[in-house]
Each structure stands twice: as C-alpha cells, then as structure tokens.
Amino acid sequence: MPPVISAEGLYKVFGRRPARGVEALRRGSTRDDLREDGLTAAVIDASFSVDPGEMFVVMGLSGSGKSTLIRMVNGLLPATAGTLDIGGQNLFSMSPAKVREVRRKRISMVFQHFALLPHRTVGENAAYGLEISGLNRSDREQKASTALEMVGLKGWEGYKPSALSGGMQQRVGLARALAAGTDILLMDEAFSALDPLIRRDMQDQLIELQQRLEKTILFITHDLNEAMRIGDRIAMMRDGRIVQIGTSEEILNEPANDYVAKFIQDVDRSRVLTASAIMEQPPEVLGSGQGPRTAHKLLRETQNSWLVVLHRDHTPAGMLLEDDVAEAVQAGRSDLPWSPPHEMHVVRHDTPIADLFAPSAQHRNPLVVVDDDGKFLGVVPRVTLLTAAGVAHEGSPSSPSSPGAPGDTVSATGSSTVTIDQEGSEAR
C-alpha cells in the first residue's frame, strides 16, 4: 500500500527571507551559522513516510523541531522547502480552501494542552470538527456521543471542560479528533501534560483504539519510553534533523550515532525487547512423525540436552529430554518419550522479556517462542535470557549477545547450519 503521509526533504526556517537559510544549509552550513544570520532552522531535510494504519512516533527533546514538523504535515506551518504528500496529493501546492478540505476530511489533531473550547460543553467540543464541516446538529451530536463513548466519557456531554480532570479533558480532545472521522491523527505531545499513571492508561487506550479503527497516527513525544511503548516505528530527531528511523528494537540494538545511544541508556530494555529479539534457533528440530532413534542421533550430533518436536504445520508438539530419549532407545520403544506437557512453556513472539523470567525460572528447558498463528519461531534458553537481562541492566547500547539479527523472521525448519554456541551447551 502506498504511504498515507510522505515527506521529502522538508525544511522549515524562521526569519527574514528563509529560502536563503535553506540554501546555506544545503551548502553545509550548521544551525549555529544560521543563527548568527538571524535565522532559526527548525526542521532540516526531513524525509519520512507513514504507512496506512501505522503508529509513527517522532521523538526528540524540546527544540528538536518535532512540533514544527507535525505542524507542517497539516499545513499549519508552510514548509520553506520540500514536498509533503497526503494520500498522494501535494499539500503545499493546494489552494487554502483545498487545504481546509483536507483538514476536515483527512487529518485531525490532538494538542498537548488539549485546546478545548472552554465556552462549549464537552459534547459541543467533540462535535467541533463536524460542525466546521457543516454537518447538521443531530448527526454531529450522535457522532460526537459515539466518539465520547469510545474514549470512555459516555454521559459527560452536558458538562463544561473545566469540570473535567486533565486526563478526561484530553479524552475529549481525542474524541474530537475521532469524531471528525479522518483517517489520519496527528498527536502533538498529546499525553505529555498528564501524570504518569493516566498517561499509561491513555497509551493503552490509544493502542487499543488504533487497532480497532485502523487510523494512521503521527505521534510526537519527548518521552522515549512512551515512543518505544506505542510506536510501530520511531523517528529520532535532534537539532532539526531526523537522525534515525526504525522500530524500537532497531533503535535499541543499532543506534545510529552516539546521540541516540546516549538517549536509549535509560530505557528499560526488558520492557521493550521482546522474546523474538533474543530467541535463537535450536540446532535441530524433530518432526513429530519420527522415532526415538532419530531423536537420539540429533541430540548426539548437536550436543544438546533437549529437542523441540514440531507438528507438520510447524506448531510445537512437545519437548524431548536427552535422558528420556536414551532410555527409550535402550528399551527399544518406537514412540517418542514425551516429557510432561507442562515442561514445555510456549510464549508469544511479542512477549516483553521482563515477562519471561518467571516461566524461565520454573522450567528446566528453554522457552518455546511461537508467532501469532502458533507456529514455532525459536527458543529462549535460560542463559540467553540472563545474558540479555544483564545487557539490559548495564544499559549498554551494544546489542545483546544473541546470535542472528534480532527481529529477523526465523524459519523453523531446514536450518542445519547452526553452530553450537556456549549458551546451548551450558544449558545442559
């Protein structure tokens, strides 16, 4: 699918004759050079695209230009140079009337300090976008009520915003954006003014709403933990430039430069990294149709103490232990000597590693990681988990010592070219 928002080489320079600032920047001048000239370079050569249904987070400290960037996306601030397409149409070449039309139909916005109209009731605030579009009263009241119900404010229509707490006011701001029925949502530090507990609630609610409504969301924040928590992809901004775009795992594991690396020091990696990032491929897996002799051979070859058995559709069938297999071979049995079912603990690929410690401590064997459809992806031996946790604890930006590129999809079968690493042998 083509991207909903795509920006190419966006510049925003404030001051007299800003175009000369863009020229200077392209020639290699720095932000400080421009400042001496009386120009402020807020955004420098920003390019990014947001796919339909994606939660794209722009993260940066104050003064990094992220608020300017989001205001260029809906044309509140015209860019000094560059192009911006909304759904394939160039926003900057549109007439003012057409831009207003785009804002009414396609883009709505949630503001840091809510920006509710204090003289209107909650219901009238939620209906504001629809009122501007010229929808009749009964229809817009109905849509506003639906939106308010979605954010958990059913029955508050008649109150003034001043009667509501900060978190509730921002829910009204969100309802106003949702009621407008646009497919793009811009959120400018939307949760930054809320206290931490409420912020977390709102983040959860936003994730849930986005999954349900499939909105494309451009979210601005200065809080890296928030960015990592909700973002499908994150753009890191510094001094007006986008320094890195990637998933939270990519940014954690491969920071583009020292600035990003310094930034992610404080992130609680065990909350951000998921099972799929640290899991590894077992040296071999066994088809469930095989017998104990094959199992024994594989275990000997791989020097492992355990073996994962898969059904034909790649869902995990069970776990075999070395001792049991040896016994079965000696006894001449032809069926596989399953370990007790509770000995195989299955986790989903998106489980944060913080939630892996308890099951890992209870099981001798590695945790088995499956994808959304329950198909086998890999295993997390205890040692791997502890190594990853150790790295997370030190906060070093270097990637944890797990083999393979994290986040890569791992095919379950046919990979016999696996070296036996230390973790594997220590896990005996």
Partner 1 sequence: MNFIPRIPIGEWAESGIDWLTDNVAGLFDVISAIFNFLVGNLTYGLTALEPLVMIVILALIAWVVRSWQLAIGTAITFLIVLSMEQWVHMMETMALVLVATVVAVVIAVPVGILAASNRAVSSVVRPIMDFMQTMPAFVYLIPAVTFFSIGVVPGMVATIIFALPPGVRMTELGIRQVDGETVEAGEAFGASSWQILRGIQLPLAVPTIMAGVNQVIMLALSMGVIAGMIGAPGLGKEVVAAISSLDLALGVEAGLGVVILAVYLDRITAALGDSATYTKSALALVQKARARRATGAL
The verdict on 183 binding partner 1 (CB under 8 A) reads: no
Report whether 244 contacts 235 (CB < 8 A): yes
Report whether 290 contacts 414 (CB < 8 A): no
Binding-site size, partner 1 (CB under 8 A)? 31
What does the alpha-carbon distance between residue 123 and residue 113 come to, in Å, rounded to a whole number? 18
CA atoms within 13 A of residue 167's CA, in its CB half-sphere: 14
Sole window of 106-114, 191-199, 306-314, 345-353 interacting with partner 1 (rule: CB under 8 A):
106-114
Sole window of 150-158, 225-233, 332-340, 397-405 interacting with partner 1 (rule: CB under 8 A):
150-158
Stretch 370-399: interaction string toward partner 1, x if CB under 8 A: ------------------------------
Sole window of 103-111, 219-227, 300-308, 417-425 interacting with partner 1 (rule: CB under 8 A):
103-111
What does the alpha-carbon distance between residue 158 and residue 121 come to, in Å, rounded to a whole number? 6
221: tokens are 């924040």
The verdict on 186 binding partner 1 (CB under 8 A) reads: yes
Shortest distance in whole angstroms from residue 181 CB to partner 1: 11
Binder among 38, 158, 196, 374 for partner 1 (CB under 8 A)? 158
Q: Is 272 exposed, middle or buried (0-12, 13-18, 19+ CB in 10 A)?
A: buried
Question: Which residue, among 182, 222, 213, 181, has the nearest Cα to 73 in the 3D structure?
Answer: 182
The verdict on 78 binding partner 1 (CB under 8 A) reads: no
Ranges of beta strands (E only) in 89-130 are: 89-90, 107-110
The verdict on 129 binding partner 1 (CB under 8 A) reads: yes
Angle between helices 137-150 and 166-179 (to 10 degrees): 130
The verdict on 221 binding partner 1 (CB under 8 A) reads: no
Binder among 115, 346, 386, 420 for partner 1 (CB under 8 A)? 115
> What DSSP string describes 205-265?
HHHHHHHHH--EEEEEES-HHHHHHH-SEEEEEETTEEEEEE-HHHHHHS-SSHHHHHHGG
Shortest distance in whole angstroms from residue 49 CB to partner 1: 21
CA angle 331, 332, 334 (to 5 degrees): 125
The verdict on 128 binding partner 1 (CB under 8 A) reads: yes
Sole window of 123-131, 212-220, 247-255, 303-311 interacting with partner 1 (rule: CB under 8 A):
123-131
What does the alpha-carbon distance between residue 360 and residue 381 come to, in Å, rounded to a whole number? 8
Report whether 223 contacts 47 (CB < 8 A): no
Shortest distance in whole angstroms from residue 76 CB to partner 1: 6
**269, 246, 178, 213 alpha-carbon torsion, rounded to 10°:** -90
The verdict on 100 binding partner 1 (CB under 8 A) reads: yes
Shortest distance in whole angstroms from residue 134 CB to partner 1: 10
The verdict on 137 binding partner 1 (CB under 8 A) reads: no
Binder among 16, 17, 35, 119 for partner 1 (CB under 8 A)? 119
The verdict on 150 binding partner 1 (CB under 8 A) reads: no
Q: Which residues, numbered 311-330, are part of the site for partner 1 (CB under 8 A)?
A: none
Binder among 117, 346, 358, 386 for partner 1 (CB under 8 A)? 117
Sole window of 30-38, 152-160, 392-400, 414-422 interacting with partner 1 (rule: CB under 8 A):
152-160
The verdict on 191 binding partner 1 (CB under 8 A) reads: no
For the chain, the residue count is 428
Written as one letter, the residue type at 40 is T
The verdict on 142 binding partner 1 (CB under 8 A) reads: no
Binder among 84, 102, 252, 321 for partner 1 (CB under 8 A)? 102
CB atoms within 10 A of CB 362: 10
Residues at the contact surface with partner 1, assessed by CB under 8 A: 74, 76, 100-105, 107-109, 111-113, 115-119, 128-129, 131-133, 155, 157-159, 176, 180, 186
